[in-house]
Structure 1
Amino acid sequence: MSGHDHSDHDHPHDHPHAHSHDEPRWKHDGVRVITGDKLDPNTAQTPGMFRQAAINHARVGAQKIWAGTVSIQPNAKTGVHHHGELESVIYVVRGKARMRWGERLEFVAEAGPGDFTYVPPFVPHQEINANPDEPLECVLVRSDNEAVVVNITDVDPVEAPEAVYWVDPIHKHP
């Protein structure tokens, strides 16, 4: 325990941009908790796929990130694409995710519960639910509120997405 008490009643802090009539916004709209039962399904939905926003501009005023959950049906795969300048982080809660990437999707990695996957900007990739029997449940965080998807049509994916497409508001049906 530190000896310094941060409570405001002991000593007022000087906030150069704060005036009594113009208090900083965080005094009324600071840290936000979005509970699991309050996620926003008010986004494009597709049978077999369920996406919910937790943190975005509309919900909390986020300027630079988007976060939410995504549930992908068994064997679903995206086509080959990249997300422009966006960075993405995928945390697997349940199931098995397979990522393929590279100019010819020559690289592959799998992630299971508790694993994080980082997708850098402009990397051509394909996202796959590697389990034929159970959904893939993930938390997705990306570095911008605007969804960016650039579909790449001149690459034959190693795993052709012919069975079930991974479709959501970011990954449109090819």
Structure 2
Amino acid sequence: MSEHSHDHPHDHDHAEDHWKHNGVRVIKGDRLDANTAQTPGMFRQAAINHARVGAQKIWAGTVTIQPDAKTGVHHHGELESVIYVVRGRARMRWGERLEYVAEAEPGDFIFVPPFVPHQEINADPNQPLECVLVRSDNEAVVVNITDVDPVEKPEAVYWVDPIHKAPE
């Protein structure tokens, strides 16, 4: 039995054509899609999503957050999120009362499990925070938690992006 015994000669051309258009994709850094909801002080670009590459279970892109910006307290439902810090300093607070805190700097990864109450903060008052964001679904989920006071109140600058809305 040859190593190619599973190939069918009449399917070979079709298979190559299939993988050419449905296989690995490289998205160049200067070709990201800024056609996402944008708000002042924040710039998000999609690299990998359903619309661009047909992704079914993952979203990836870049986000730049203005200095000193903070979200309100929230969680992302069943979504898992990974944040990779490219430039700047991120502070995360989490827990029932945001009693835990950690900071991340360039080269660090942050993992946010499902349903974890948290607050995201640009810890540098003078420099934008640039990150790569990957989430476990194309559908953005944000559940705001209004009965927990943020330890660091987002009064000066709200971290606002397509999935983190400003308070009304």
Report if TM-score (shorter chain) is over 0.5. Answer: yes
Q: Helix, strand or coil: the match of 2:51?
A: helix
1:155 aligns with 2:153: no
- Distance in 1 (CA, whole Å) between partners of 2:63 and 2:7 is 40
Partner residue, 2:111: 118
1:29 and 2:61 are equivalent in the alignment: no
Query: What secondary structure does 1:114 align onto?
Result: coil
Cα gap change, 1:26/1:157 in structure 2, threshold over 3 Å: closer, same or farther?
same
- Corresponding residue SS for 1:59: helix
Q: Percent identity?
A: 81
Residue aligning to 1:164: 157
Match among 32, 39, 49 for residue 39 of structure 1: 32
Equivalent position of 1:106 in the other structure: 99
Query: Which sits farther off after the overlay, 106-115 or 27-36?
Result: 27-36
Quote how far apart the aligned CAs of 1:20 are. Answer: 5.7
What is the Cα deviation at residue 19 of structure 1? 3.7
Alignment of 1:5-84 (within 5 A): 12=4, 14-15=6-7, 19=11, 23=15, 25-84=18-77
Computed over aligned residues only, the root mean square deviation of the Cα atoms, in angstroms, reads 1.9
Q: TM-score, normalised by structure 2?
A: 0.91
Task: Identify which range, 27-36 or 131-140, moves more after superposition.
Answer: 27-36
Aligned to 1:85: 78
In structure 1, runs of 5+ residues without a counterpart are 1-9
Q: 1:71 Cα shift?
A: 0.2
Q: Tell me the SS of whatever aligns to 1:26.
A: helix
Secondary structure of residue in 1 paired with 2:15: coil
Structure 1 pair 13/159, CA: closer, same or farther in 2 (3 Å)?
farther
C-alpha displacement of 1:12:
4.0
Query: What SS does structure 2 have at the residue aligned with 1:162?
Result: coil
Separation in structure 2 between the aligned mates of residue 100 and residue 63 of structure 1, nearest angstrom: 30
Letter paired with 1:143: S
| Residue correspondences, number | 164
Deviation at residue 14 of structure 1 after TM alignment: 1.8
